[in-house]
């Protein structure tokens, strides 16, 4: 992570001392490096330079407007899973014909919104959904461009909660039934079959599952061709992993080479939906240590960020490195880093050997740019944290910290309850 580095004893994001930002905006906050975001996007997109492709950043990883706007400027499209993400993407200026829409539970109003916006394609996840999209398109006088999300039944060897391409997962249509679904789609009046899609999981650190999924898609494409169905877009989904700890994921150009080689001369436009690999290591979470509790069995550092701000350690037992923002000591200690929430599951790290922390110290929770803020909540009526972007020697608050009033927006007490 070239843009999060220590100069002397202080952590910098590009040319700004993290401590200075914390003094100005308070804690906790997410901090992103613009230069890192740009480097990651260019490395990924550039790896496919000689291929007809569209990189559609996966909004779920981080849908903040400033980040989407930056990625749009770099040429990115968007992979969405909700009407809300479509709204954000359009607001960030992303052209609708660069937006693909996946998800097993698209609702009628979301489908209408996408049809009216003129998105590139719907990635269909069930036959029922295909029927609904056909009906909605007919109603609106549109033709819905669709791909079928194929479930290739490959094991991505990642955390079970984030693997999606196994038969037992709820995603996509299994590769055997998919052919029938395509034949059915072809007969529908308000649907245009344009693509084939898969997404097998996330934080994948091996190329084999991608290659296996692609083989299975290619086989299906040949079958489709033999019955006269021509595919224009092949969407490989996202899933490329990053280094949180010791993982050694393939570099984007190795990933690209594997896919492009397998595609060979197939006359399709390739779509990719990377999320984590673009933003994961472009963001960190800054929190302040509140209390130091040295126990007989365990030591705890209580910090001001909790599981509502960063859910990944709780939900997936995910590892995030935790580093002091200002290096003061070499003394090491084993402790749990925990938040203020009233649950034992509220931790950022467990039994972590780390540099000793004093009350008031700032800590950086690393590699939290993806699925950090986007999975945060207001649990325990905790205002959502601020987000900051650094560019060179300047920093910008891209999302203000919520205040208490924000917590009650939209709530009403029925008059009958009022005295
Ligand atoms: N496309 C589709 C259809 C997806 O479902 C996802 C992620 C992506 C693309 C982007 O995948 P990526 O390149 O980021 O791996 N909250 C979990 C990750 C859930 C991923 C869900 N789908 C986490 O924090 O690890």
* Cα–Cα nearest to 96, from 113, 112, 120: 120
Confidence of residue 154 (pLDDT cuts 50, 70, 90): confident
Residue 386 CA to ligand 1 centre (angstroms): 23
The arithmetic mean of pLDDT across residues 176-202, rounded, is 96
Tell me which long-range contacts 186-189 makes (C-beta under 8 A, separation of at least 24): 186/229, 188/130, 188/131, 188/134, 189/134, 189/138
Residue 307 CA to ligand 1 centre (angstroms): 19
Predicted local distance difference test score (pLDDT) of residue 411: 98
Residue 162 CA to ligand 1 centre (angstroms): 7
Query: Looking at the predicted structure, is the pLDDT value of residue 166 above 80?
Result: no
CB contact at 8 A, 1 and 321: no
- For the chain, give the mean pLDDT: 96
Residue 212 CA to ligand 1 centre (angstroms): 19
Predicted local distance difference test score (pLDDT) of residue 342: 95
CA distance 206 to 219: 22
Measured from the Cα of 274, ligand 1's closest atom is 13
Better-scored residue on pLDDT, 365 or 159: 365
CA 242 from centroid of its chain's CA atoms: 12
Q: What is the CATH code for 4-32+280-408?
A: 2.40.37.10
CB of 29 sitting under 6 A from ligand 1? no
CB of 276 sitting under 6 A from ligand 1? yes
- Strand 99-101 relative to strand 121-124, pairing: parallel
Confidence of residue 419 (pLDDT cuts 50, 70, 90): confident
Determine the residue of 41, 44, 60 to mutate for testing ligand 1's pocket, defined as the one with the most ligand atoms within 8 A of the Cβ atom.
Answer: 60
Residues forming beta bridges with residue 362, ordered by sequence position = 288
Measured between alpha carbons, how far is residue 186 from residues 218, 262, 271, 332 in Å? Answer: 19, 27, 22, 64
Measured between alpha carbons, how far is residue 36 from residues 10, 72, 141 in Å? Answer: 19, 15, 43
Predicted local distance difference test score (pLDDT) of residue 153: 83
Q: What percent of the chain has pLDDT over 90?
A: 92
Determine the residue of 273, 279, 280, 283 to mutate for testing ligand 1's pocket, defined as the one with the most ligand atoms within 8 A of the Cβ atom.
Answer: 273
Residues forming beta bridges with residue 121, ordered by sequence position = 100
Give per-residue pLDDT as tens, 333-371. Answer: 999 999 999 999 999 999 999 999 999 999 999 999 999
Confidence of residue 112 (pLDDT cuts 50, 70, 90): very high
Residue 218 CA to ligand 1 centre (angstroms): 23
Predicted local distance difference test score (pLDDT) of residue 52: 97
Residue 200 CA to ligand 1 centre (angstroms): 9
Determine the residue of 239, 244, 283 to mutate for testing ligand 1's pocket, defined as the one with the most ligand atoms within 8 A of the Cβ atom.
Answer: 239
Predicted local distance difference test score (pLDDT) of residue 418: 86
CB of 153 sitting under 6 A from ligand 1? no
Residue 140 CA to ligand 1 centre (angstroms): 31
The arithmetic mean of pLDDT across residues 317-335, rounded, is 96
Predicted local distance difference test score (pLDDT) of residue 156: 80
CB of 239 sitting under 6 A from ligand 1? yes
Question: Does CATH number 3.90.650.10 belong to domain 34-279?
Answer: no
What does the angle CA 381 – CA 159 – CA 244 come to, to the nearest 5 degrees? 75
pTM of this structure: 0.97
Give per-residue pLDDT as tens, 360-408. Answer: 999 999 999 999 999 999 999 999 999 999 999 999 999 999 999 999 9
Same fold, 4-32+280-408 and 34-279: no
The arithmetic mean of pLDDT across residues 40-46, rounded, is 98
Predicted local distance difference test score (pLDDT) of residue 198: 96
CB of 274 sitting under 6 A from ligand 1? yes
Predicted local distance difference test score (pLDDT) of residue 405: 98
Residues annotated as catalytic are 342
CA distance 273 to 290: 39
Query: What are the residue boundaries of the structural domains of the chain, listed by start?
Result: 4-32+280-408, 34-279
Report the number of secondary-structure helices (H) and strands (E) in the chain: 12, 21
The arithmetic mean of pLDDT across residues 142-168, rounded, is 85
CB of 149 sitting under 6 A from ligand 1? no
Rg (CA), the chain: 23
CB of 58 sitting under 6 A from ligand 1? yes
Query: Looking at the predicted structure, is the pLDDT value of residue 1 above 70?
Result: no
What does the angle CA 116 – CA 149 – CA 114 come to, to the nearest 5 degrees? 10
Ligand 1: which residue has its CA nearest to atom 19? 162
Question: Buried (b) or exposed (e) across 348-386, using 16+ Cβ within 10 A?
Answer: bbeebebbbbeeebbbbbbbbbbbbbbbbeeeeebebbb
Predicted local distance difference test score (pLDDT) of residue 169: 81
Residues forming beta bridges with residue 196, ordered by sequence position = 148, 234
Give per-residue pLDDT as tens, 248-276. Answer: 999 999 999 999 999 988 999 999 999 99
The alpha helices in 108-189, defined as continuous H runs, are: 108-117, 127-140, 175-187
Neighbours of 233 (CB within 10 A): 21
Predicted local distance difference test score (pLDDT) of residue 167: 75
Query: Looking at the predicted structure, is the pLDDT value of residue 290 above 80?
Result: yes
130's CB contacts (< 8 A; 6+ apart) are 124, 146, 148, 181, 184, 185, 188, 191
Predicted local distance difference test score (pLDDT) of residue 230: 94
Query: Looking at the predicted structure, is the pLDDT value of residue 309 above 70?
Result: yes
Determine the residue of 204, 275, 280, 371 to mutate for testing ligand 1's pocket, defined as the one with the most ligand atoms within 8 A of the Cβ atom.
Answer: 275
CB of 238 sitting under 6 A from ligand 1? yes
The arithmetic mean of pLDDT across residues 105-111, rounded, is 98
* Cα–Cα nearest to 214, from 156, 134, 160: 156
CB of 372 sitting under 6 A from ligand 1? no
Measured between alpha carbons, how far is residue 338 from residues 286, 308, 316, 378 in Å? Answer: 14, 12, 16, 17
Q: What SS3 state is found at 347?
A: strand
């Amino acid at each position: 992570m070239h843009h999060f580095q220590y100069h002397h004893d202080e952590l910098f994001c590009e040319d700004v001392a993290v401590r200075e930002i914390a003094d100005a905006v308070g804690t906790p906050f997410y901090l992103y490096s613009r230069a890192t975001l740009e480097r990651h996007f260019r490395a990924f997109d550039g790896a496919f330079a000689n291929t007809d492709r569209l990189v559609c950043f996966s909004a779920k990883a981080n849908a903040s407007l400033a980040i989407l706007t930056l990625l749009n400027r770099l040429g990115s499209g968007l992979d969405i899973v909700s009407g809300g993400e479509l709204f954000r993407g359009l607001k960030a200026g992303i052209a609708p014909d660069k937006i693909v829409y996946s998800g097993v539970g698209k609702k009628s109003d979301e489908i209408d919104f996408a049809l009216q916006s003129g998105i590139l394609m719907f990635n269909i996840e069930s036959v029922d959904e295909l029927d609904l999209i056909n009906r909605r398109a007919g109603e609106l006088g549109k033709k819905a461009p669709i791909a079928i999300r194929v479930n290739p039944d490959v094991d991505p060897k990642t955390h079970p909660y984030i693997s999606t391409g196994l038969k037992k997962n709820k995603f996509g249509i299994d590769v055997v039934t998919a052919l029938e679904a395509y034949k059915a789609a072809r007969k529908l009046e308000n649907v245009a079959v344009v693509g084939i899609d898969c997404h097998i999981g996330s934080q994948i650190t091996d190329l084999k599952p991608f290659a296996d999924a692609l083989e299975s898609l290619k086989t299906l494409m040949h079958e489709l061709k033999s019955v006269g169905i021509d595919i224009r877009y092949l969407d490989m989904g996202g899933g490329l992993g990053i280094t949180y700890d010791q993982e050694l994921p393939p570099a984007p150009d190795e990933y690209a080479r594997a896919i492009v080689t397998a595609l060979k001369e197939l006359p399709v436009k390739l779509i990719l939906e990377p999320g984590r690999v673009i933003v994961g290591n472009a963001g960190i979470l800054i929190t302040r240590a509140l209390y130091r509790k040295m126990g007989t069995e365990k030591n705890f550092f209580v910090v001001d960020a909790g599981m509502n701000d960063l859910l990944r350690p709780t939900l997936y037992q995910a590892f995030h490195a935790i580093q002091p923002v200002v290096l003061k000591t070499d003394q090491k200690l084993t402790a749990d880093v925990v938040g203020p929430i009233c649950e034992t599951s509220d931790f950022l790290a467990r039994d972590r050997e780390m540099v000793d922390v004093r009350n008031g110290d700032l800590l950086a929770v690393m590699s939290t740019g993806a699925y950090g803020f986007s999975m945060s909540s207001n649990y325990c009526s905790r205002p959502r944290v601020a987000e900051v972007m650094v560019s060179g020697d300047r920093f910008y608050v891209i999302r203000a910290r919520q205040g208490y009033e924000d917590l009650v927006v939209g709530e009403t007490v029925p008059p009958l309850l009022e005295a």
